[in-house]
């Protein structure tokens, strides 16, 4: 009965997409779905409307209310325009920045956004060519705009596209703006969308923005003299077919690095990502061509970015000269350590500096920060929450770095989203600085573990596609809440945090307390007697439930590194077995 009722609702919704208000191609595709005996595809594309998650609007491209197309993009844009016109009604001219990545339809969607915004009397500054997320965030602040939109699905597979909305501080929107925008979007009908552009309000952004961005990025450097001495460090860089190739090699050279080696096959700008299955530096396969190029050329480092160049991945040589790929936690640990250490050496720490990490990111970053007198704040997953802390403390404290385990880091406050460009510059600088101190970057990581404690992290994503998958994920989270884990890999659970209700249970003390967070979030965390941490959360942008595992150990010396790694790997395998993943 329930399925019959859903099908009726879906069919009625699909029928509205057959009107003359939709283009002929769209109408034909919808009709084909209605005519098909298999109604599953019809249900998938119409059973709900796309919603803003941790990364904004994101979905598979195609016809339907649950797909990315000019009509769902149009409704989102009209709703956003209505909200901007109300929020900034006292301004003579409201303006926005529009950027796009390499994905199929990104440029088309960007033009749709600019047309609709201009039709609503809002000036749209549009990048003339594809550019990375951090530069879009930068441009919002640089041009004193009230909002920004980036057309991208970040690291998602090629079938996806997305729509990131930025506020006037250059950060992605958070409550109440995100929910208010959705409220406006939900009130928009096809008749309300103003598709006819006012060309006089559409302004192109050229390469002068690149020059300004790179000039500001150079101010983030902490060891320019080290780079000068070791400017020929071999750095292989791949944009994995995306936007990073437009600016990262140029930025690295501007900062003094002279030996930048490209991967020609992956310099090809393409939304089909022809050389990889997944355009994500978190996936070792996506970095394989870069590693091979580094082996062939004798390079010391491998850098990679995802299609919109907010995520940064790095590979370094180990003590045997073999390449290993660092995970996002390790990269962040090294960046935080380096920034704090250098600022200390340069006498730049005043006591007002702070760092930020997300709740699923390695707590070792907190240990490094706090042992050096730098407070670290904790926030939800998603860089918009890091930016929220920055907004709150602006003018009161000095932000010097923050990030998340999913390969995102930000070293400066003139951008308010994860920034692979500054991360690449600083990571190259770390290699030069370490070299000047007689060690490799790999040995530097080991030394951090010796000084601050060893931490091993692993992220596992369980994919559950479509409507049925979403129901399975809901059932899994419900089960974890109703049947809480009592023991993990032989260690008793002593603390459970449930961010959906903002409650924590201290099982050791038999106490319950409130979690101080800005809003609720569907995340569960378990902490054990031996300092293991497990975080469980459904993704806000993909059909996945994610498990974040962090285990601790002691490392007495570099010589013990291999043995400790093996021991913690075995422990993580046991944890996965206990969790059934």
Say how many CA atoms lie within 13 Å of 538 toward its Cβ: 19
Based on the domain organization, do 159 and 290 belong to the same domain? no
Based on the domain organization, do 225 and 364 belong to the same domain? yes
Give me the CATH number covering residue 565.
3.30.310
Based on the domain organization, do 445 and 465 belong to the same domain? no
Based on the domain organization, do 135 and 226 belong to the same domain? no
pLDDT at residue 186, as a whole number:
86
The C-alpha torsion from 148 through 103 and 381 to 117, rounded to 10°, is 20
CA–CA distances in Å: residue 335 to residues 365, 429, 448, 504 = 9, 10, 11, 31
Report yes or no on 25 lying in a domain. Answer: no
Based on the domain organization, do 445 and 480 belong to the same domain? no
Give me the CATH number covering residue 139.
3.40.120.10
Based on the domain organization, do 56 and 123 belong to the same domain? yes
Based on the domain organization, do 499 and 520 belong to the same domain? yes
pLDDT at residue 1, as a whole number:
37
Is the C-alpha dihedral spanning 498, 503, 509, 511 positive or negative? negative
Residue linked to tokens 């690095």 = 257
What single DSSP character describes residue 173? P
Q: How far apart are CA 545 and CA 543, in angstroms?
A: 7
Q: Are strands 487-488 and 491-498 parallel, antiparallel or unpaired?
A: antiparallel
Give the number of other CB atoms < 10 A from CB of residue 15: 12
CA–CA distances in Å: residue 561 to residues 323, 335, 364, 547, 570 = 16, 20, 16, 25, 14
Q: How far apart are CA 526 and CA 505, in angstroms?
A: 10
Based on the domain organization, do 433 and 329 belong to the same domain? yes
Report yes or no on 6 lying in a domain. Answer: no
Last residue of a domain, one of 452, 479, 500: 452
CA–CA distances in Å: residue 149 to residues 43, 57, 139 = 29, 11, 11
Mutual angle of helices 133-142 and 420-436, in 10-degree steps: 110
Report yes or no on 573 lying in a domain. Answer: yes
The residue range of the domain holding 139 is 48-206
Based on the domain organization, do 264 and 305 belong to the same domain? yes
Catalytic residue from among 154, 363, 369, 455: 154
Is the C-alpha dihedral spanning 392, 311, 411, 150 positive or negative? negative
Report yes or no on 39 lying in a domain. Answer: no
Based on the domain organization, do 262 and 408 belong to the same domain? yes
Last residue of a domain, one of 163, 190, 206: 206
Q: What are the residues whose beta carbons fall under 8 Å from the beta carbon of 378, sequence distance 6 or more?
A: 356, 357, 358, 359, 366
pLDDT per position in the chain (581 positions), as tens?
A: 357 889 999 999 999 999 999 999 999 999 999 999 999 999 999 998 887 654 568 899 999 999 999 999 999 999 999 999 999 999 999 999 999 999 999 999 999 999 999 999 999 999 999 999 999 999 999 999 999 999 999 888 999 999 999 999 999 998 889 888 888 988 999 999 999 999 999 999 999 999 999 999 999 999 999 999 999 999 999 999 999 999 999 999 999 999 999 999 999 999 999 999 999 999 999 999 999 999 999 999 999 999 999 999 999 999 999 999 999 999 999 999 999 999 999 999 999 999 999 999 999 999 999 999 999 999 999 899 999 999 999 999 999 999 999 999 999 999 999 999 999 999 999 999 999 999 999 999 999 999 999 999 999 999 888 878 888 999 999 999 999 999 999 999 999 999 999 999 999 999 999 999 999 999 999 999 999 999 999 987 678 999 999 999 999 999 999 999 999 999 999 999 999 88
Is the C-alpha dihedral spanning 357, 530, 313, 108 positive or negative? negative
Could you please report the per-residue DSSP string of 87-151?
A: HTTTSS--EEEEEE-SSTTHHHHHHHHHHHHHHTT-EEEEESS---HHHHHHHHHHTT-SEEEEE
Q: Are 429 and 227 in contact (CB under 8 A)?
A: yes
pLDDT at residue 175, as a whole number:
85
Based on the domain organization, do 438 and 515 belong to the same domain? no
Q: How far apart are CA 137 and CA 148, in angstroms?
A: 7
Please calculate the CA angle 312-317-321 and round it to the nearest 5 degrees.
Answer: 160
Based on the domain organization, do 358 and 224 belong to the same domain? yes
Report yes or no on 150 lying in a domain. Answer: yes
Report yes or no on 9 lying in a domain. Answer: no
Report yes or no on 32 lying in a domain. Answer: no
Last residue of a domain, one of 390, 417, 452: 452
Q: Would you put residue 257 in left (φ > 0), alpha (ψ -120 to 50) or beta?
A: beta
154 is catalytic: yes
Q: Give which of 236, 186, 144, 249 is closest to 52, Cα–Cα.
A: 186
Give the number of other CB atoms < 10 A from CB of residue 93: 10
Q: Three-class SS of residue 544?
A: strand
Report yes or no on 14 lying in a domain. Answer: no
Domains in the chain, number: 3
């Amino acid at each position: 009965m329930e399925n019959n009722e859903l099908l009726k609702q879906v069919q009625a919704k699909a029928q509205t997409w057959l009107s003359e208000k939709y283009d002929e191609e769209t109408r034909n595709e919808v009709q084909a779905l209605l005519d098909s005996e298999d109604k599953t595809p019809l249900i998938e594309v119409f059973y709900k409307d796309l919603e803003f998650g941790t990364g904004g609007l994101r979905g598979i491209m195609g016809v339907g209310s649950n797909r990315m197309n000019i009509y769902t993009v149009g409704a989102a844009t009209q709703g956003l325009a209505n909200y901007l016109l109300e929020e900034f009604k006292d301004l003579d001219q409201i303006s926005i920045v529009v950027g796009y990545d390499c994905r199929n339809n990104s440029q088309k969607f960007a033009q749709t956004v600019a047309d609709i915004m201009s039709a609503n009397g809002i000036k749209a500054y549009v990048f003339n060519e594809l550019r990375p997320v951090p530069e879009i965030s930068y441009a919002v602040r640089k041009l004193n705009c009230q909002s920004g939109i980036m057309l991208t699905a970040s690291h998602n597979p090629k079938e996806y596209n997305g729509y990131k909305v930025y506020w006037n501080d250059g950060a992605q929107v958070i409550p109440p703006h995100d929910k208010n925008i959705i409220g406006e979007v939900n009130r928009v009908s096809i008749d309300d969308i103003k598709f006819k552009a006012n060309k006089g309000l559409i302004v192109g952004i050229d390469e002068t923005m690149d020059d300004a961005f790179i000039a500001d990025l150079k101010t983030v450097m902490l060891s320019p003299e080290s780079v000068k001495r070791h400017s020929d460090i071999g750095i292989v860089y791949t944009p994995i077919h995306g936007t990073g190739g437009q600016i990262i090699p140029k930025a690295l050279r501007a900062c003094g690095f002279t030996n930048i080696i490209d991967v020609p096959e992956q310099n090809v700008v393409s939304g089909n990502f022809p050389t990889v299955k997944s355009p994500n530096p978190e996936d070792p396969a996506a970095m394989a061509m870069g590693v091979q190029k580094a082996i062939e050329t004798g390079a010391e480092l491998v850098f990679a970015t995802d299609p919109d160049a907010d995520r940064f991945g790095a590979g370094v040589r180990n003590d045997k000269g073999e390449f290993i790929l660092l995970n996002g936690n390790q990269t962040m640990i090294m960046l935080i350590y380096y920034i704090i250490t250098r600022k200390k050496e340069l006498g730049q720490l005043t006591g007002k500096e702070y760092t930020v990490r997300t709740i699923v990111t390695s707590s070792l970053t907190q240990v490094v920060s706090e042992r050096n007198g730098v407070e670290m704040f904790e926030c939800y997953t998603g860089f918009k929450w890091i930016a929220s802390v920055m907004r709150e403390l602006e003018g009161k404290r000095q932000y010097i770095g923050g990030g998340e385990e999913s390969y995102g880091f930000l070293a400066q406050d003139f951008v308010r989203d994860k920034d692979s460009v500054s991360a690449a510059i600083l990571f190259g600088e770390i290699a030069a600085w370490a070299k000047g101190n007689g060690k490799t970057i790999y040995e530097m990581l080991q030394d951090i573990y010796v000084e601050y404690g060893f931490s091993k992290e692993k992220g596992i994503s369980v994919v559950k596609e479509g409507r049925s998958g979403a129901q399975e994920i809901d059932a899994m989270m419900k089960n974890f809440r109703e049947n809480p884990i009592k023991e993990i890999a032989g260690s008793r659970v002593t603390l459970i945090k449930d961010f959906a209700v903002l409650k924590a249970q201290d099982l050791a003390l038999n106490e319950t307390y409130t979690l101080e967070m800005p809003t609720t979030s569907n995340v569960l965390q378990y902490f054990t007697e031996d300092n293991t941490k497990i975080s469980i959360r459904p993704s806000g942008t993909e059909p996945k439930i994610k498990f974040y595992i962090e285990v601790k150990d002691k490392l007495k010396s570099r010589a013990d590194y291999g043995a400790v790694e093996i021991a913690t790997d075995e422990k993580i395998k046991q944890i996965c077995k206990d969790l059934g993943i």
